């Protein structure tokens, strides 16, 4: 699943390509579960609501994309496992997994040759339409925790000290902190030398400060390298990320630790897998 850096790259790509454009036509081939329309629209169809609206803002909240449209409407997108946007030439063959296609009113030469596609081969992605005044009150957004690139060191330490739970599941909990997933959680804990089963309340303030620093450092580095591609992720321009070349522990089960040479292990913690070095990241 795309995490904060990957979603941030998608948001930036959308800003570069479709911000300010007016949607002329929407072509849908998505399953009903992929498209959600607020009851506030009184049964109107997704395409009829969105057509002729101008894209005013494109923002990220955690792993969510919020596209503000004219008329006080917001398109809320979650990419889930394999969803992605592609701004491409209309002459490119339509893929069977291109579930939504957005055509735009002509403002320049590019508008007549390109459109935006939402592709999702696993079909878990969601596109939801709400009035802007109600969207942030929805389940999936209202409970989100602080942004990891915005939370201060002291706020992060207090966040961890105020709860006593295993650190890996805590960092994955979007109501605890929004935007992290397995990749950046495993990497941050590794560089901080914290075992993923350690309880947040038992981790020293010094270690938590170190963890906060590594989280922000790794997220920023990944963003600068266009994210991590370990499955199907690509940016709006179709290019894959490059941060996977710098992963130290994630998806490295059975390989030697780059610090001590001990074999990296993978264990299920809670309902998710964790990759770590049992020597560098001791549980006690």
| 40-43 LR contacts (CB < 8 Å, sep 24+) | 40/130, 40/131, 40/134, 41/129, 41/131
Q: Give the domain CATH number at 20.
A: 3.20.190.10
75 by DSSP, 3-state: which? strand
Asked if residue 281 is part of any domain, the answer here is no
- Same domain as 120, residue 191: no
Q: Is residue 103 in some structural domain?
A: yes
What pLDDT, on the 0 to 100 scale, is given for residue 108? 74
pLDDT at 110: 65
Output the tens digit of pLDDT for each of the chain's 284 residues.
799 999 999 999 999 999 999 999 999 999 999 999 999 999 999 999 999 999 999 999 999 999 999 999 999 999 999 999 999 999 999 999 999 999 999 877 666 789 999 999 999 999 999 999 999 999 999 999 999 999 999 999 999 999 899 999 999 999 999 999 999 999 999 999 999 999 999 999 999 999 999 999 999 999 999 999 988 899 999 999 999 999 999 999 999 999 999 999 999 998 899 999 999 999 87
Spatial distance between the Cα atoms of 34 and 18, rounded to a whole number of angstroms: 22
pLDDT value of position 153: 98
Do 129 and 23 lie in one domain? The reply is yes
- For residue 60, tell me if it sits in a domain: yes
How many distinct helices (H) and strands (E) make up the chain? 7, 11
Q: Which residues pair with 199 in a beta bridge?
A: 166
Query: What is the distance, to the nearest Å, from the Cα of residue 32 to the centroid of all Cα atoms in its chain?
Result: 23
Length of the chain: 284
CATH number for the domain including 197?
1.10.8.50
Catalytic pick from 21, 60, 63, 117?
Answer: 63
Residues 266 and 200 in one domain: yes
Domain co-membership, 84 together with 190: no
Say which residues have a Cβ less than 8 Å from residue 283's Cβ, sequence separation at least 6: 195, 197, 198
Domain count, the chain: 2
Catalytic residue among 2, 148, 169, 196: 2
- Specify whether 117 is located in the same domain as 231: no
63 is catalytic: yes
Is 145 contained in some domain?
Answer: no
At 117, which helix (H) or strand (E)?
Answer: strand 114-119
Domain boundary pick from 107, 135, 163 = 135
C-beta of residue 77 within 8 angstroms of C-beta of residue 138: no
pTM for the full model?
A: 0.96
Catalytic annotation present for 3: yes
CA angle 124, 270, 165 (to 5 degrees): 120
Domain that holds residue 250: 153-276
Together in a domain, 80 and 158: no
Pairing of strands 98-104, 23-28: antiparallel
Q: What is the 3-state secondary structure (H, E, C) of 189-202?
A: HHHHCCCCCCEHHH
Q: What is the pLDDT of residue 112?
A: 72
Give the pLDDT of residue 161.
95
In a domain, 220, yes or no: yes
């Amino acid at each position: 699943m795309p995490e904060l850096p990957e979603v941030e790259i998608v948001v930036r790509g959308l800003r570069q390509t479709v911000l300010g454009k007016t949607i002329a036509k929407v072509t849908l081939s998505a399953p009903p579960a992929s498209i959600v329309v607020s009851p506030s629209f009184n049964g109107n169809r997704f395409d009829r609501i969105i057509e002729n609206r101008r894209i005013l803002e494109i923002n990220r909240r955690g792993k969510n994309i919020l596209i503000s449209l004219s008329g006080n409407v917001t398109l809320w997108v979650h990419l889930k496992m394999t969803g992605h946007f592609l701004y491409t030439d209309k002459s490119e063959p339509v893929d069977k997994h291109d579930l939504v296609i957005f055509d735009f009113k002509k403002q320049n030469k590019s508008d007549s040759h390109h459109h935006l596609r939402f592709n999702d081969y696993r079909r878990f992605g969601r596109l939801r339409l709400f009035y802007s005044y109600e969207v942030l009150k929805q389940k999936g957004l209202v409970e989100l925790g602080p942004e990891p690139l915005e939370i201060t060191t002291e706020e992060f330490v207090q966040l961890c000290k105020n709860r006593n739970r295993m650190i890996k599941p805590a960092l994955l909990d979007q109501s605890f902190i929004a935007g992290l997933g397995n990749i950046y959680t495993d990497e941050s804990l590794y560089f901080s030398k914290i075992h993923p089963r350690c309880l947040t309340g038992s981790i020293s303030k010094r270690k938590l400060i170190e963890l906060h620093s590594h989280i922000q450092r790794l997220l920023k580095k990944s963003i600068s390298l266009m994210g991590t591609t370990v499955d199907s992720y690509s940016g709006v321009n179709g290019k894959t990320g490059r941060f996977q070349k710098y992963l130290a522990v994630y998806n490295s089960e059975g390989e030697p630790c780059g610090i001590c040479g001990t074999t990296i292990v993978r264990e299920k913690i809670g309902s998710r897998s964790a990759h770590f070095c049992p020597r560098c990241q001791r549980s006690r």
